[in-house]
Structure 1
Amino acid sequence: MPERIARNGVFRRRWWGSPSRSLAGVFGDPMLRNGHALIASASMTQFVGVLYWIFAARLYPVAVVGRNSAAIYIMLFLSGIAELNMMSTLVRFLPMSGRRTVRIIAGAYITSGAIAALISSVFLYLIPHLEPQLGFLRSGTYMALWFVFSIIMSTIFVLQDSALTGVRAAPFVPVENGIFSLLKLVLMVPFAGLLPMAGIYVSWTAAIVITVIPTNAYLFGRAIPRHLRSSPAVSPEPKFGEIRSFLIPDSLAAFFLLASTALLPLLIISRLGPAAAGHYALAWVIGYSLFLVSMNMGSSLVVETAADQSRLRQRAFRSMTHLAKLLVPLVILIIVAAPYLLLLFGRGYARTDVTPLRLLALAALPTLITNTAISVTRSQRRMRMVLGIQISICTLAWLLSVVLIGRLGITGVATAWLIAQTVTALALTARPGLWLPPRHHVRGRTIPAYHDGPDRQVQPVSTARRDPLVTSEKLAGPAERDMRWNGHPVRVTAPVPTEVWHTVASTDPSATPFQWPIWRDCICSGGDWEDASRLYELPGGRQLVLMLARRTGWPERLAMEASWPYRWGSGGVLAPGGAQPDELALVSTDLAANRAISVSVRPEFSAASAWLKANDGAYPIARTIHVAHLGTSFEDFWASSVSTRTRSNIRAARRQIEQAGIVITSGNSPELLQDFYETYLRWIDWRGKQRKMPASLARWQAQRIEPFLKFKTVASRLGKDCRIWVASWEGRPVSTAISLYGGDTAVGWRQHTDLSVPSRFRLSEVLIAEGIRHACESGCRYIELGETFGNASLETIKERLGARKYPCAEYRFEHLPLGRGWLAYHTIRRRAESWIVARTQNGNHSAGRRS
């Protein structure tokens, strides 16, 4: 039975899905359908744009490419100012404007066109003072008039896309932009001979003028009448005051967006020259195409939530998760293929633009969050927040560009853009309440069925789901839902009531100190995690307890769940007599359907084989743990499991400890706990020094990961079931250990030794032996001695003291491959640390030989 479940696991179906279902899901959702239409439009434009710049790089000198690209960015900047960001206003208000739709669009065209004529004339006059490199734009009367006219038409060109989106005619946008892209490519070739200094700019703007005419004929002749017939206004038509209160701050936000994108080439051309501006333009046209993906999906999000915002939060998460699946592989592809892509422009570009292109592509990942946040707050008309996000990005991008451009050139500008987007995205992620609407708690909601194979259905029948960001204490009681598995009903309760958990743990012979309710309370007491445990009630009354904690402060789809969190020990499933493989398959199926971005489960070592049989959907991370199985007394265990030589060495070490005046104390008191943490920090100092890390940084990192409050909480809550050993020499602690006890099992939880103490004392081994002795005296069947994380000497010590090694995998249920990334990161980190340590030791040996 488990094998069948594994082959048809929900995890795989949810992550990869079938192509037909995935396409049906995309085209059945108006937000995704219109968003993909806009993305397709932008992709087509950018693809042909890349071809356009390839021809430009081949037909024109790099300095001419730089001047013309700067002129195009100036055109985009001036037209962006002229349209007052009314493109967002059209997207926001046209879906609910009713009969005023034509008047609003025409008013936007006339107002923006007049402003465009004015500011382009002023800029033309100021060119000699602002940027002499753009003097070709006023080299003659016809060229000057064309520049002014092109700004006006560019403004209308931008507004017409938003008008089409606002009246739900976004599928026409790719057609329009495809015509524009092909036209500018075709026109550039003859203009290369006719206008050798301005051919790029003129071909670009001439294509805009030609495209505007048929597009507006379609907009006013067919799209708007169809929109009025099929989508009557569902809300009161917006008043002028509402539009104005939206427009003014949104226009300021658009100005800062343009300043952080279209104006940066002016900084480059003034500081580095037109050739550098040409190089940056070609890297930017590829990197910016990824930026447009999330921006266009955000426009569709605004349209679909403008009139009804009851599902804004859910649609925002759907947008982000969908975009992540598109952007992550694209970013990886561009980073890997950057040198080959740039070869299309020429060898000169491939030599200098690889790093800027990679940085700009990587910046598309944080923009997924920043652009979605802008769209969400724009839909809510929280324009101050929109303005704040754009100011943050623009300020950081410009300040860092000014600082870095002198040292790194165009790479510095690309680095500034990446840092600006990343810092802003991290701030938004840390405080989701600033931009996401509050979640509404809905009880009695029906959830569609999902399938696990052709003849099995896992179907939630009714549910009262709790808010994962609200702790169980804030709820009236545990939330319950029903699911069907293998034809039988299963009741799922979350979180697990404490008394039920305690009863199940008492009947599971494999329950460790990490698997009792009091340990859950320790994990959740710090506020970083909350109880997300689940109780499965099977037919016949059998109960399963899944130990689970959820990271607080994160949106549901970005939250991480763990059983248990890193450095909090093993979790898994409890059941009377131990969980069976088919029962673990049920739990795995439910976890695979979870909405959290990642769920990790680290089962206890005795359940490893059952989890291995039940799993086929989660990503396993191999781990090993050492366990000492105890006898009736410590003397029996010591004689049967530890070699004569090791026993003799321990006896000799004890004599030397007594002769040196080292005192070993055990118990549970604030003084012993303080001694433990002091020894831990000295060990961190030694470890940081060995790895060439500043002591302050090493301590800060250690105290952030394992603060003193964590150990204080465990010691105070567990009481006598938490025992601390401290070896003191000359009045200061030099070696410490903590053991935990629960039921008839024990865990050697932490141990640290001051490595300045002579190794002949064997303090680590002596304290492990003391922990084993106390476990035997407490009636424990075995004691876990933890993982060794590849430390061969520590592994040898544990095995010398009678422990055996057991495989014990961790399982990751994920919607994104975070487990693989986490494993790769830690593998690289450990290898790097081993290399640094080896170099340090070799250097010390060499210095010793020279002295």
Structure 2
Amino acid sequence: MTEPRTAPPTPTPTALVAGPTAAGAQGPIDTRRSLGAVVRSGVAAVFPRDPLLRNGHLLAISSLVSSALGSIFWVLATHWYDDEVVGLSYSALSMTLLLASIGQLNLSDFLVRFVPSAGHHTRRLILLCYAVSAVVSSLVAIGFLLLVPRVAPGLDFLLTPVTAACFVAATAGYAVFVMQDGALTAVRRPGWVVAENVVFACVKMGLLGVGAALALFSGILLSWVGALAVSLLVANYVLLRRAVPDHVRVSTEARRPARALRYAAADYVGSLFRMAAYTVVPLLVLNSLGAEQSAYFSLAWIVGYVLYLIARNLGSSLVVEAVSSPERLVEHTMRMLRHTGLLLGAGIVLVAALAPQILSLFGPEYAEHGTTLLRLLALSALPNILVSLAIDVWRARRRLRWAVGVQIAMCVLVLGLTKLLLPTLGITGAGVAWLVTMCLLAAPLVIWRARWLTTGSRRSS
């Protein structure tokens, strides 16, 4: 069931039987061989043998599949639940993502950076990260629930015993879910990242229907908890029983991470600010504009965020390859920059052009209120390509001071501008905040690109 580390072409039955043909061979055999060659060429174009682009493509496909199925989930939610429940549930799940990011200590990126060279330490490293993140995430979620009456009174529905238990379980489970993506990426099994996201989405939609049929107010949250449990079991069976043994078998080295705690601490600080920028905005919208406007914002953000997620996933492939070939980091970075620019450039144009049609899938009111917001978010994804890639370059080189600084600036600018603009521009203000922030961060990276995109090998924390 496991994938090979590279993608050698698979012989077709025609090639196995026919072999080289003599002059005058039958036409149908030549036709079948030609079609086979065309198919193999197409597969090679989408999944090239180069692991940098092949793994990056698979991770990008995972983002697209996850977002497409996630959009279907929210389409169903908007039809089966009223707007207030959708808005409150999305805000609660946004807090789950934020708290999971806090609790998992950014160990997903830590695994991406250090598992490729861990050798026989791989399984122990993964399980240790799982245990630490699950415990810390649970404690963080419990602490948030205690503070709900003061910091998020709109989420007081989480305080019932069953819903509170599901919220804590969802936070801990999502922390491990994110880390298993990092572990699968690090052992070069991104195809299983796609598979686990499909499992998660399909189970989640099935349970959503059950919750709606039973008229459960917390049906959306409960569907996430059940889907996380199923996907964690499936993905970790593949990871720990198959992918990790294969990775250990082909590893040429087995190094314990040097200065691991220092790296993890600095990377964690940066990730907290980055994820706060992503996940606190929905809470600002809820507190400032109410549950209905929060629903309109949330569905536009779900669509726009996929463009950010693709850039980040492609960057994860860059980090994995940089561990094995640090001398080729600049070369890989330039290739990834061109590749991501072409890939996301087309996606940005499509999303901006089709924004009303995309949002109308959730209902006409979503298109009416969220079209301008979605277009602004799509445009902001273009400068984000450079910002995200620069952060990954600094992470690969362990120059984390710059990476942390950029992520702090992102958080401060996005949250500050959003809070300032929401009262006057409504949810469109959040889109303006993201576009302005990304442009302000990308501009100095272009002007002073020689300071971060160099062949130097000096490391810092």
Query: What TM-score results when the alignment is normalised by the length of structure 2?
Result: 0.88
SS of the aligned residue for 2:354 comes to: helix
Percent of residue pairs bearing the same amino acid type: 36
Structure 2 partner of 1:94: 115
Amino acid aligned to 1:129:
R
Equivalence map 1:285-296=2 (5 Å): 285-296=302-313
SS of the aligned residue for 1:260 comes to: helix
Equivalent position to 2:277, from 260, 265, 269: 260
The answer to whether the aligner puts 1:183 opposite 2:203 as a matched pair is yes
In 2: Cα distance, 1:150 partner to 1:406 partner:
32
- State the Cα RMSD in Å: 1.7
Q: CA deviation at 1:389?
A: 1.3
* Cα pair 2:47 2:58 within 8 Å, conserved: no
Structure 2 partner of 1:360: 377
Q: CA deviation at 1:195?
A: 4.6
Cα 1:113–1:252 change in 2 (3 A) is: same
In 2: Cα distance, 1:410 partner to 1:223 partner:
44
In 2: Cα distance, 1:431 partner to 1:392 partner:
17
* Cα pair 2:322 2:396 within 8 Å, conserved: yes
Equivalent position to 1:38, from 31, 43, 59: 59
Structure 1 partner of 2:390: 373
* Cα pair 2:46 2:57 within 8 Å, conserved: no
Structure 1 partner of 2:413: 396
In 2: Cα distance, 1:82 partner to 1:296 partner:
21
* Cα pair 1:256 1:391 within 8 Å, conserved: yes
Equivalent position to 1:155, from 141, 150, 175: 175
In 1: Cα distance, 2:342 partner to 2:190 partner:
22
Structure 2 partner of 1:237: 255
In 2: Cα distance, 1:158 partner to 1:25 partner:
25
Cα 1:437–1:304 change in 2 (3 A) is: same
Equivalent position to 1:51, from 66, 72, 92: 72
Equivalence map 1:787-806=2 (5 Å): none
Structure 1 partner of 2:48: 27
* Cα pair 1:74 1:262 within 8 Å, conserved: yes
* Cα pair 2:99 2:140 within 8 Å, conserved: yes
What do the CA deviations read for 1:523-579 (whole angstroms, capped 9, x no partner)? xxxxxxxxxxxxxxxxxxxxxxxxxxxxxxxxxxxxxxxxxxxxxxxxxxxxxxxxx
Structure 2 partner of 1:803: none
Equivalent position to 2:151, from 119, 130, 135: 130
Where structure 1 has 5 or more consecutive residues not aligned to the other structure, the ranges are 1-17, 441-851
The answer to whether the aligner puts 1:217 opposite 2:237 as a matched pair is yes
Q: CA deviation at 1:142?
A: 2.1
Amino acid aligned to 2:241:
G
Q: CA deviation at 1:438?
A: 2.9
Amino acid aligned to 1:133:
G
Once structures 1 and 2 are overlaid, which stretch shifts more, 197-206 or 260-269? 197-206
* Cα pair 2:167 2:221 within 8 Å, conserved: no
Amino acid aligned to 1:143:
T
Structure 2 partner of 1:452: none
Amino acid aligned to 2:420:
V
Structure 2 partner of 1:657: none
What do the CA deviations read for 1:597-635 (whole angstroms, capped 9, x no partner)? xxxxxxxxxxxxxxxxxxxxxxxxxxxxxxxxxxxxxxx
In 2: Cα distance, 1:174 partner to 1:325 partner:
22
* Cα pair 1:377 1:436 within 8 Å, conserved: no
* Cα pair 1:313 1:439 within 8 Å, conserved: no
Equivalent position to 2:293, from 273, 276, 282: 276
Q: CA deviation at 1:107?
A: 0.8
Q: CA deviation at 1:164?
A: 0.7
In 2: Cα distance, 1:209 partner to 1:19 partner:
37
In 2: Cα distance, 1:183 partner to 1:25 partner:
28
Q: CA deviation at 1:227?
A: 0.6
Cα 1:32–1:221 change in 2 (3 A) is: same
Cα 1:19–1:433 change in 2 (3 A) is: farther
Amino acid aligned to 1:215:
A
SS of the aligned residue for 1:237 comes to: coil
Q: CA deviation at 1:124?
A: 1.1
Amino acid aligned to 2:440:
V
Amino acid aligned to 1:400:
L
In 1: Cα distance, 2:252 partner to 2:211 partner:
47
Cα 1:439–1:243 change in 2 (3 A) is: closer
Amino acid aligned to 1:237:
R
Amino acid aligned to 2:415:
W
Amino acid aligned to 2:157:
F
Structure 2 partner of 1:329: 346
The answer to whether the aligner puts 1:205 opposite 2:225 as a matched pair is yes
Q: CA deviation at 1:19?
A: 10
In 1: Cα distance, 2:40 partner to 2:239 partner:
33
In 2: Cα distance, 1:22 partner to 1:176 partner:
22
Q: CA deviation at 1:42?
A: 1.1
In 1: Cα distance, 2:216 partner to 2:137 partner:
27
Which structure's residues are more often helix, by fraction? Answer: 2
* Cα pair 2:380 2:439 within 8 Å, conserved: yes
In 2: Cα distance, 1:344 partner to 1:146 partner:
29
Cα 1:21–1:204 change in 2 (3 A) is: closer
Which structure's residues are more often strand, by fraction? Answer: 1
In 2: Cα distance, 1:288 partner to 1:24 partner:
26
In 2: Cα distance, 1:131 partner to 1:47 partner:
30
Cα 1:326–1:24 change in 2 (3 A) is: closer
Cα 1:56–1:118 change in 2 (3 A) is: same
In 1: Cα distance, 2:289 partner to 2:421 partner:
12
* Cα pair 1:60 1:196 within 8 Å, conserved: no
In 1: Cα distance, 2:167 partner to 2:229 partner:
12
Task: Find the structure with the greater CA-based Rg.
Answer: 1
Structure 2 partner of 1:300: 317
The answer to whether the aligner puts 1:113 opposite 2:130 as a matched pair is no
What do the CA deviations read for 1:365-421 (whole angstroms, capped 9, x no partner)? 111101111111110011111101111111111111111111101100111011111
What do the CA deviations read for 1:453-480 (whole angstroms, capped 9, x no partner)? xxxxxxxxxxxxxxxxxxxxxxxxxxxx
Cα 1:33–1:279 change in 2 (3 A) is: same
Amino acid aligned to 1:366:
P
Structure 2 partner of 1:70: 91
* Cα pair 1:153 1:208 within 8 Å, conserved: yes
Amino acid aligned to 2:186:
G
The answer to whether the aligner puts 1:408 opposite 2:425 as a matched pair is yes
* Cα pair 1:265 1:277 within 8 Å, conserved: yes
Structure 2 partner of 1:533: none
Equivalence map 1:620-769=2 (5 Å): none
Amino acid aligned to 2:396:
S
Query: What TM-score results when the alignment is normalised by the length of structure 1?
Result: 0.48
SS of the aligned residue for 1:265 comes to: helix
The answer to whether the aligner puts 1:438 opposite 2:459 as a matched pair is no
The answer to whether the aligner puts 1:171 opposite 2:191 as a matched pair is yes
Cα 1:353–1:243 change in 2 (3 A) is: same
Q: CA deviation at 1:341?
A: 1.2
Q: CA deviation at 1:193?
A: 3.1
In 1: Cα distance, 2:432 partner to 2:190 partner:
34
In 1: Cα distance, 2:392 partner to 2:61 partner:
19
The answer to whether the aligner puts 1:338 opposite 2:358 as a matched pair is no
* Cα pair 1:54 1:344 within 8 Å, conserved: yes
In 2: Cα distance, 1:304 partner to 1:161 partner:
16
- Runs (4+) of structure 1 exceeding 3 A deviation are 18-26
In 1: Cα distance, 2:105 partner to 2:241 partner:
26
Cα 1:369–1:22 change in 2 (3 A) is: farther
* Cα pair 2:166 2:221 within 8 Å, conserved: no
Amino acid aligned to 1:42:
S
The aligned length equals 419
